[in-house]
Structure 1
Amino acid sequence: MIITGDDSVAISDVQCYLHQHFEMKDLGPLSYFLGLEVSYTSNGYYLSQAKYAADLLSRVGITDSSTTSTPLDTNVKLTPFDGTPLADPTLYRQLVGSLVYLTVTRPDIAYVVHVVSQFMVAPRTIHFTTVFRILRYVKGTLVHGLHFSAHSSLTLSAYSDADWAGDPTDRCSTTGYCFFLSDSLISWRSKKQTATSRSSTESEYRALADATSELICLRWLLEDMGIKQSSPTVLHCDNRSAIQIAHNDVFHERTKHIETDCHFVRQHIKHGTVQLTPVSSEDQSTYIFTKAHLPGRFQFLLRKLKLASIIPP
């Protein structure tokens, strides 16, 4: 059990009570738990999985110095039909499962891991090659992690995006969103949409609905923790058509197929929970969750996410 809080007397009382009923040992301040490493500084907390990642690389046998600057080549479009089927897919499934857990602190690999996870049933050689590219990228970025500042405000904000018809197999779009508590990244997602969208606006609006759902949950969670969001949460979107539909009470032929999502987002706008705000493509933080990028652009997006590469001083 992990006991948190800043009331030392209350924590001591809980520990004494548990000692009376269970055999337990006080391990002191949290530093390592289920592969998660927690470091403390005067500036806040640093969360990483460096040891977990290093153990994974050692288990696979990647011991040379070869690394890659991005987890996915922009020229690679994975499909279920390229390459040769693996004779034994066990290792592939184990590695992808381990990488899924690594995304707990590594948003930079969320998109490519979501892609390779789609081929767990019948993986092929090209999929396995992509997994090894991810591992070589991880090898070069072992100390990447998340920094939660102790001095920033506790205002929630969000970004939402969709890569329209990006899947080469069925032309489904990819939803991407991320949430910041001030400048600390606290939630993100990269997920293939279940339905094929007939326009970029439709795919963007589906992403907005998913982001709004996560937004509501996070506001409830923060309120339970005593951090009430007194004003609407700003949700940034770079598709002006989707924003216009969200504020338009009149349905027409273009929105019939996403009517439920329209009602859902509009309801929370009217209730003052969400404030949709346009954002330029240059300032859109979620592109890293919807597609592959060249090294320069990829590093720029990492800086937008405030991903830490060393323990802050």
Structure 2
Amino acid sequence: MSTPQSTHYAAILCILQYLKGTLFHDFHFSAQSPLILRAYSDADWVGDPTDLRSTTGYYFLLGSSLIFWRSKKQSVVARSSTKTEYRVLADTTSELLWLRGLLQDLGVSTFSATPIYCDNKSAIQITCNDVFHERTKHIEIDCHLVRHHLLQGSLQLISVSSHDQLANIFTKSHPNGRFRDLVSKLQLVSHPSP
């Protein structure tokens, strides 16, 4: 705010254009959708050009309905894309545990493992590997958290291609066609302006 540059102005214009284009989007909740919880987890690596921090993005679907999402900048700079992705996996796991508890309180069965779709194979391999490597010492707590709940059967990690990673909408900018495609897969409905 104290020393704005042209890149900041360009970012503000993008945000305003996004808001203008999404004014008439609504959520659609289907009564026929099964009450099965799924999560998509993604991050961009050093996506912010000013401080090189990454953006975390994840969301949860209950059946085909979007019920929870988050997009935020990570608090530290990650030295690899794997560490960035693993941090978002840990955040997603924490939210997953909370949502599973809430659903149980509401009488919705959560006995089967909840799939988390991740497009970083290295992050998935670290979770499944019992031996910590020197390169994971900075994310060791996150590793223990995710691995513990994977072994407990609370979650299941599923590799998905970057193209099929629906959480990309929360971490990266996209051309109009790809953006509309991702919005439609989130079950957002566009209504004409009044």
Using structure 1 for the length normalisation, give the TM-score: 0.58
Is 1:151 paired with 2:73? no
Q: Deviations over 1:29-59 (max 9, x none)?
A: xxxxxxxxxxxxxxxxxxxxxxxxxxxxxxx
Which residue in the other structure is 2:74 paired with? 193
Corresponding residue pairs, total: 192
**Identical amino acids, percent of aligned pairs:** 58
Q: In structure 2, what residue type is equivalent to 1:197?
A: A
User: Equivalents in 2 of 1:227, 1:188: separation in Å?
Assistant: 20
1:74-223 aligned at under 5 Å gives the runs 81-83=3-5, 126=9, 130=12, 134-223=15-104
C-alpha distance 230-196 of structure 1, shift in aligned 2 (>3 A): same
Using structure 2 for the length normalisation, give the TM-score: 0.91
Which residue in the other structure is 2:131 paired with? 250
Q: In structure 1, what residue type is equivalent to 2:5?
A: G
Offset, 1:133: 5.0
Offset, 1:140: 4.1
Q: In structure 2, what residue type is equivalent to 1:126?
A: Y
User: Equivalents in 1 of 2:20, 2:81: separation in Å?
Assistant: 36
Q: In structure 1, what residue type is equivalent to 2:67?
A: I
User: Equivalents in 2 of 1:271, 1:125: separation in Å?
Assistant: 45
Is 1:276 paired with 2:157? yes
Equivalent of 1:304 in 168, 185, 190: 185
Offset, 1:278: 0.3
Q: Deviations over 1:109-158 (max 9, x none)?
A: xxxxxxxxxxxxxxx9727x71x654454344432011111111000000
C-alpha distance 202-216 of structure 1, shift in aligned 2 (>3 A): same
Larger radius of gyration: 1
Q: In structure 1, what residue type is equivalent to 2:170?
A: F
Instruction: Determine which structure has greater relative contact order: mean sequence separation of CA pairs < 8 Å that are 6+ residues apart, divided by chain length.
Output: 2
Offset, 1:164: 0.5
User: Equivalents in 2 of 1:125, 1:164: separation in Å?
Assistant: 19
Equivalent of 1:291 in 164, 169, 172: 172
User: Equivalents in 2 of 1:138, 1:176: separation in Å?
Assistant: 18
C-alpha distance 261-305 of structure 1, shift in aligned 2 (>3 A): same
C-alpha distance 225-136 of structure 1, shift in aligned 2 (>3 A): same
Where do 4+ consecutive residues of structure 1 move more than 4 Å? none
Is 1:225 paired with 2:106? yes
Which residue in the other structure is 1:7 paired with? none
C-alpha distance 80-297 of structure 1, shift in aligned 2 (>3 A): farther
User: Equivalents in 1 of 2:121, 2:131: separation in Å?
Assistant: 17
More divergent stretch after superposition (136-145 vs 268-277): 136-145
User: Equivalents in 2 of 1:174, 1:275: separation in Å?
Assistant: 23
User: Equivalents in 2 of 1:298, 1:136: separation in Å?
Assistant: 13
Consecutive unaligned residues in structure 2, runs of 5 or more: none
- Pick the structure with more strand per residue: 2
Offset, 1:172: 1.0
Consecutive unaligned residues in structure 1, runs of 5 or more: 1-78, 85-123
C-alpha distance 140-266 of structure 1, shift in aligned 2 (>3 A): closer
Secondary structure of the 1:162 match is strand
Offset, 1:298: 1.1
Secondary structure of the 1:187 match is strand
